[in-house]
Amino acid sequence: MDDWYSREQALRELGVAAQTLYAYVSRGMIARRADPADPRRSQYRSDDIAALTQRRARGRRPAAIAASTIAWGEPVIDTAISTVVHGRLIYRGQDATTLAATAPVEDVARLLWQGDAIPALPPGAAALDPFVALAALVGTARALPGRSHERRCTDAAAAIAALGGALGASGEGPLHRRLARGWGLDPSAADVVRRALVLLADHELNASTFAARVAASTGAPMAACLLAGLSALSGPRHGRAGAATAALAQEADARGAGAAVARWLADHRVLPGFGHPLYPLGDPRAAALLDGIALDPALAALCDAAAEACDGAPNVDFALLAMTRALALPEDASFRLFALGRSIGWAAHVMEQAMHDAIIRPRARYAGARVRE
């Protein structure tokens, strides 16, 4: 999925001399490989060059650096849990798409939580609102400070089980089978649910994960931290972004894919379900989830129209919509899968944040009325 520039293209994009390009390579800032067509020549990774160009454009003033952390900018928190690098989603050094091929969700929790013995998830209560299910645990929950790692894992397992029950999981057993049982799915469809939960388990410092870490930095109980993450996830620009993708697909069903895509783009809107800032060459989670899912003709036409209009590759929101249609899942299955899968990552970040005895408390740059003397 990587894209590579020739030496001449790299120099043109960076606007630097050859010696500076070689310095970037020697410092590990830009990856280099031999040109497959001519091993005597070198190629340079395009996304490394794009990231370096953006950092140089922002400059190094403290205000510019701070502002750039807000949206897809400079890293702001150290983590060993997950990252996105060169178009790949990595969980503690392992490719998430490789894990999704066979790994149970519980094994991914064990990897992310670094727990030798992840406690079995107890049965979750059914027919509860997910927010109510987590809030019900907060009142009697223990704060994070002073809890051992094993007890934090137990707290996380209990909270995720309660969340799963509220989102439709039924009975006991592996988490993906509980959800499949609640949705009345056969074993092959249950495996697609497993893949989705693994691929959604974590995604670096996204908005909901940051919310969970902020809550953890205050010492709030595990269930409260997961509730903070769930609240952030519920917004239409995050976990409920799938609703916009579904609306685009419904318009494509009614008016034709080309007309629907043209109208959305004419309204100066980002095309939902396609493209991702961290994956300029395509979302690997979508590719892994769509593998084995047959697109219906309308969704296939929508993919073609998006590719022709804006070179848009399907992202995970589109893949979840395709999954929902193919398996006849509940209308809000995309959000449910996101919430249940991502809760595993939230718990990992809560545990990691709890190791730091400091509150996350950035400063604001005041832009209001002038203070009167």
Tell me whether residue 238 is one of the annotated catalytic residues. no
Three-state secondary-structure class, residue 142: coil
* The one catalytic residue among 47, 202, 283, 317: 317
Tell me whether residue 276 is one of the annotated catalytic residues. yes
Beta strands at 94-95 and 88-91: parallel, antiparallel or unpaired: antiparallel
Residue 209 in contact with residue 239, Cβ under 8 Å?
Answer: no
Say which residue the tokens 């996350």 belong to. 360
* The one catalytic residue among 276, 291, 304, 357: 276
Q: How far apart are CA 329 and CA 347, in angstroms?
A: 26
Strand segments (E) across the chain: 4-6, 32-35, 38-45, 82-85, 88-91, 94-95
Three-state secondary-structure class, residue 44: strand
Q: How far apart are CA 309 and CA 24, in angstroms?
A: 35
Three-state secondary-structure class, residue 228: helix
Q: How far apart are CA 147 and CA 345, in angstroms?
A: 19
Tokens of 318: 């589109």
Q: Is 86 left (phi over 0), alpha (psi -120 to 50) or beta?
A: left
First-residue to last-residue Cα distance in the chain:
59
Q: Is 72 left (phi over 0), alpha (psi -120 to 50) or beta?
A: left
Helix or strand run (H / E) with residue 23? helix 18-26
Active site residues: 276, 317
